[in-house]
Chain A
Amino acid sequence: MSFSRFPDGGLIDRSQVFTFSFDGRSFTGHAGDTLASALLANGVSLMGRSFKYHRPRGLVSGGASEPNALVTVGAGGHREPNLRASMVTLRDGLKAESQNRWPSLGFDLGAVNSALTPFIGAGFYYKTFMWPAALWESLYEPLIRKAAGLGRASHAPDPQVYEKRWAHCDLLVIGAGPAGLMAALAAARTGARVILCDENAAFGGRLLHDRVEIGDADGPGFAAAAISELGSLDRVQLLPATTVFGTYDSGVYGAVERRDGAASGPAQRVWRIVARRAVLAAGAEERPLVFGGNDRPGTMTASAMRGLANAQAIRPGDHVAVFSTGPSGHETARDLIARGLEVTLVDARTEISAAELSASEGARVLKGHVVADTLGSKSVTGIEAVDRATGKRSRIKVDALAMAGGWNPVVHLACQRGDRPVWDAGSGMFLPPASRDGLAAVGSAAGILDLAGCLRSGTAAGEDAAAALGFTPVTAKLPAAREACGGSTGFTTLWHVGEARGKAFVDFQNDVAVSDLGLAVREGYGHVELAKRYTTTGMATDQGKLSNVNAIGILAEQRGLTPDQVGTTTFRPFYTPVSIGALAGEHRGSHYRPVRRSPLDGWARKHGAVFIEAGHWMRPSHFPRDGEAGWKEACDRETLAVRAGVGISDASTLGKIDLSGKDAARFLDRVYTGKMSTLAVGKARYGLMLREDGMVMDDGTVSRLGESHYLITTTTGAAGEAMAHLEFCAQALWPDLDVRLVSVTDQWAQITVAGPASRDVLGRIVDADLSEEAMPFMAAREVTLHSGLAARLFRISFSGELAFELAVPARQGEAVADAIMQAGAPFGITPYGLEALNVLRIEKGFITHAEIDGRVTPGDLGLGKMVSAKKDDFIGRAMLGREGLQDPDRLQLVGLRPVNPAHRILAGGHLLEPGAVPAMANDQGHVSSACWSPHLNSTIALAMVRRGRSRHGEILTVWDPLRGIETRAIVGDPLFLGASAIKAPPRRGLAPVIPARAPGLRLPDLPAVSGIELALCPEAPVLLLSAPVGLDAAVRAAAPAGDGILRPVQPGQALAVGRPGESADALAARLDGPAGASLCELTDARLRLELSGARAGDLISTQSAIDLDDEGFGPGASAPTLFGHVPVQLTRLDAASFEVMVFSTYAGDLVESLIRAIRRL
């Protein structure tokens, strides 16, 4: 007789029938089943094949530790391998497949390995597949991998969505068995914030599996009452089907919530739980016994068989043998006998307590006997028992076999931060280490094996945690608990059965037998960590949850030591496997990192830009026109148009930093190589910033806008690094300099208009005299457009042509660019992208980070004159004086042209003297940038060459073995193109062009999800008020308390938000900051979103780690935080309404990610 279902009883809902399939066969089950219980109910006890020998395997532990019943669920991109059938909640339509078998589970050719068992023990692979080494990767590994294995991963993209969420609590309770429920109740009753997690879909732990009584209630009844009380408390969060998989620093716990079959929301959710205290109530695993053929399907732990019978009404057969060393076997016998089954109890002990014998009354009890071997092939049909007193063997026909070898407390989460479990010889268990960092183990996880003790220890831990956090305990009387045998305390340790003749498995998942451990000891791999690697015991998906303690016991026996002398292997997250998709959350594919869009993005799209990623930015690479074959044609056209007439491009991505404070000039002198303090108001200067080691960090311009007001520009790529560096200098190096730094990159759309006609074009836009006299090279002016819009104009050129950069508030950028296009139409104005920009600058020998690669000094770049000799200090000055950095033999910037203009040079090639052998010793330098110059009809390149400046005219070989190119090239000046010969005659009399006002902002269509609304805040001015750090109190007092104007950013800095429709000036007038405070307008640099509704907090917790429930974040609270992966200022407007103020160039990305998050809710 095989496994089946009792006609009645259990916690399943027989009125709900689910149809599912396993290996293509269709079965039915009920609500309340796991895949494993439903298979057993249908008589399927063979669920998998073992890893190495392909032995038939069935369910063993029936829980999280299940080593055998691994299945693949789903198909295509939804396919998930190696799921434990015991942890898969049954649902209608579920499709599961067995693994590691071919052609079928019943008939597996790989099982031939089983016949070879004597030859393929531990270390077989290491010893056998040694030579020839050439076959390691080509033959041996593929063969071994094919023969030995688990499920296959799906290679299709995963269409499921995943979510990550932060949670905060006073007490995290891990495990909702009797101890966990009591801990959660005890703490929650005091008003503490409690999160209760259990890896199973139903709370209750053994209360659902064992026939116990607490007060007047049975186990499920007591659990239901506790859950109902917890559910009624609003500071309690219940997370079923949620496995806490890791204990991390600072009281952070990782957990994964499985939402199999959920109608909406993510497939899985990873929780990061910040817990002030935690209670580990993870229970204990029943220890399997190690005897011959202990892996035959139909053999499982006694608690698994009992739980299946009680909770899912699984009938293991007519006659069941229970092999026991303690009370658990007698408890299982009791429950099976009560169901009318015949039970033979094989008990290794000669003395058995009266309580146990009374519980198992009706069973045939064989005292002092052991099960030496099992009989049968694909399932157990009998056992061979041995009377240890006489050595007599007897065969008994049985349908199933239960093993009760004692208990292993689930100590993992208490040991993941480096502590080891402690061996308790008295009880024969490894117990959790002493409580650390607020994590305390309770109940059977702490080795307490009776129900009353579990209830008591859970209650005490919950009360202690609450009291330690300042909550007042609420004492409640504990009801009396009654259970079989008075609890599971007092088992005898039996590491393995010496009388076994068949293979006795220690680690089921990895096919490690007692003999393998013996071999490991004999061959010198007896240390627990070595034995693990040598035999693979404790590896793979179950990480030895069932096997490790037995393996330690057997190693101890073999080596003549005690288990504590052998010790345990290292515990690390994850407790159970977690899918990569869940860990990645929403940040995958194109959402792996944020996308930053320039304010001129819409303008560039209109003109057909092809975009290229540059850091977070998407920048126009070129603007192809109809009939152009590729990027190069577009690039050549754009390049020629700039030098011949006029071009327009987007410079908004350059880093822009507003610098103010009375020590601003001194500060600039210390961070730039040049003397910036002499710069006149209204002028800009090119500057180099060094690292402290003397190497160039970044280049850019500094414009003096006022007496102590500057604008710094950095390169696009180094903007973040430069800002952090300047902040470091201001805050950590010279905190007593009065300087304030504000990133204004997002505030301004910056438009480059370059080419001989640029002045004529801009003259139609800007209401100012742009003549050479009024607006000379390197002038920096605040100007007004013909529309009245305030703007900034810089006469700066990165193309070597007459050029201007016009900065306008970001939201007006597209309209102004449109107006410039219109104004430039008579001049044939041409949008140009990064490719043309690159050609234009190489033709003039201008550098970028291709040259500033972290290894160059100003002198190397030919910019030695930019290093002031008059200053006694600036960053990098001391180290720049090093002998090595002044060596005339250093690489220096030169220009390169191929001897044959048609030949190519590509960046990355190395330079050699003609005929020299390619070797480091002969290396003369490398090519940093290269392009095709349509003006010179030749490839041109910039290169760093040894003594380069003294070698103009020399011919070198550009050696590029990676791309198979060798080119002879002439060294020369990096300036390829002299001053432009084209002097366009000025065109006068063209009418001014007035840019339109940008339309109001609009959000894309939003999904309608109840409880959450996303809207734009009404447009209002935003100013950053900043003062020296010491004046923080005055900054915070700049607006009346409680009026919602100020959002503090950092000491001395606060964002001020005005009324809808108010002007920035009007807002400024209302602010009463300290004397000398600076105001920087950021209206266009920020987008303000409002998130409101009952679920706004849930949504925010998927994006930010801020504890919204904290009293510290009530209405009016405001703080800067990372939101998803972009920085924002988060402000609570009222109880269920939040303002998210985001950098405007990240706003599009944030809105998209919020829409995705809302859809997931």
Chain B
Amino acid sequence: MASLIPCPHCGLRPKEEFSIRGDAAPVRPRPDAPFDAWDAYVHLRDNVRGVMHEHWQHVGGCRRWLVVERDTFTHAVHAVTDAADFTRAQGAPTGGGGASAASGTRTGKGRAKR
């Protein structure tokens, strides 16, 4: 019938407005990373019963990629953050580097917690 996801940009919305991609924990390896690291990034996923971080896109709304902290058993949504902030917080390479790194960041957590 419905589950609701609190989009940090749009507010509480039904899951029909979103599409899910999957586990947000794996960090894209550096280009020169060993093959095993790439293999793990592309192919290996945990099938968690409990809380995990997942990439969802609000395709029927703002079209931002989000990281939803969700319990896969109860469907309880604990927090939702913008994927950009999540990536930065992971300490992963964010593509910038040198002069072209964008300056500001936005927490985007305004309406994330319920």
Contact = CB atoms under 8 A, between A and B. Distances in A.
Contacts of B31: 872-873, 877-878
- The listed residue with most B CB atoms (<10 A of its CB), out of A667, A670, A732, is A732
A15 interface: no
B1 A272 contact: yes
A411 to B, nearest CB: 19
- The listed residue with most B CB atoms (<10 A of its CB), out of A248, A254, A1110, is A248
A154 interface: no
A666 interface: yes
A274 B4 contact: yes
B10 A1121 contact: yes
B70 to A, nearest CB: 10
A252 B96 contact: no
A878 B28 CA distance: 11
A1010 interface: no
B75 interface: yes
B102 A878 contact: no
Contacts of B35: 878, 881-882
Given A734-B96, A735-B95, A724 B83 contact: no
Contact of A693 (B42, B59, B60): B42
Interface in B40-65: 41-43, 55, 57, 59-65
A737 B100 contact: yes
A1028 interface: yes
A1110 B88 CA distance: 33
Interface residues of A, number: 55
B94 A735 contact: yes
Chain B interface size band reads 35 or more
Contact of A736 (B4, B12, B60, B95): B95
A662 interface: yes
A731 B11 contact: no
Interface stretch (A464-472, A964-972, A1029-1037): A1029-1037
A738 B102 CA distance: 6
A727 B65 contact: yes
A1041 interface: no
A692 interface: yes
Interface in A13-48: none
Contacts of A1031: 104
Nearest to B33: A878
A1119 interface: yes
A878 B38 contact: yes
Contact of B100 (A272, A573, A663, A692): A663
B77 interface: yes
A289 B66 CA distance: 56
Interface in A274-291: 274
A1122 interface: yes
A1030 B104 contact: yes
Interface string B62-92: 1111000000001111000011111110000
Contacts of B95: 663, 666-667, 670, 733-737
A728 interface: yes
Contacts of A1030: 102-106
Nearest to B62: A1050
A11 B104 CA distance: 69
A251 B2 CA distance: 9
Contacts of B74: 249, 417-418
A221 interface: no
A250 B4 contact: yes
B10 A1029 contact: no
B2 A250 contact: yes
A1032 B60 contact: no
A355 to B, nearest CB: 45
Contacts of A879: 38, 42
B90 to A, nearest CB: 10
A925 B108 CA distance: 50
B83 A731 contact: yes
B2 A878 contact: no
Interface in A695-727: 724, 727
B84 A249 contact: no
Contacts of A251: 4
Contacts of B106: 1029-1030, 1032, 1051
Given A734-B94, A1049-B62, A1122-B61, A252 B1 contact: yes
Contact of A248 (B3, B12, B96): B3
Contact of A254 (B1, B28, B61, B105): B1
Nearest to A875: B28
A251 to B, nearest CB: 8
Contact of A727 (B13, B63, B77): B63
Given A272-B2, A1051-B106, A1121-B17, A736 B94 contact: yes
Given A737-B96, A1032-B106, A1122-B61, A731 B3 contact: no
B3 A735 contact: no
Given A724-B59, A732-B83, A252 B65 contact: no
Interface string A256-282: 000000000000000010100000000
Given A693-B42, A879-B38, A1127-B59, A736 B101 contact: yes
A735 B83 contact: yes
Given A1029-B106, A1121-B61, A728 B55 contact: yes
A992 interface: no
Interface string B1-38: 11110000111111011010100100011011101001
A720 to B, nearest CB: 8
B108 A1051 contact: yes
A1050 B32 contact: no
A539 interface: no
A194 B48 CA distance: 38
Nearest to A583: B1
Given A250-B2, A732-B84, A1122 B17 contact: yes
A1127 B42 contact: no
A1123 to B, nearest CB: 9
A1120 interface: yes
A737 B95 CA distance: 5
Interface string A1089-1107: 0000000000000000111
B9 A249 contact: no
A246 interface: yes
A666 B100 contact: yes
A248 B106 CA distance: 32
Contacts of B85: 735
Given A727-B63, A733-B28, A1122-B60, A1051 B82 contact: yes
A1060 interface: no
Contacts of B33: 878
B9 A1051 contact: yes
- The listed residue with most A CB atoms (<10 A of its CB), out of B21, B61, B77, B88, is B61
Nearest to A1052: B106
Interface string A184-211: 0000000000000000000000000000
A1112 B11 contact: yes
Nearest to B32: A872
A727 B108 CA distance: 17
B60 A1121 contact: yes
A1119 B55 contact: no
Contacts of B12: 250, 274, 1107
A252 B4 CA distance: 8
B64 A1051 contact: yes
Contact of B10 (A662, A670, A728, A1119): A1119
Given A573-B1, A732-B65, A873-B31, A1105 B21 contact: no
17 contacts: A249-B74, A250-B77, A252-B1, A252-B2, A254-B2, A274-B2, A662-B100, A724-B57, A727-B64, A735-B83, A735-B88, A879-B38, A1028-B103, A1051-B82, A1051-B106, A1105-B14, A1121-B17
Interface of B: 1-4, 9-14, 16-17, 19, 21, 24, 28-29, 31-33, 35, 38, 41-43, 55, 57, 59-65, 74-77, 82-88, 93-97, 100-106, 108
Given A724-B19, A735-B84, A1051-B62, 6 more contacts: A252-B2, A252-B14, A727-B65, A872-B32, A878-B38, A1110-B11
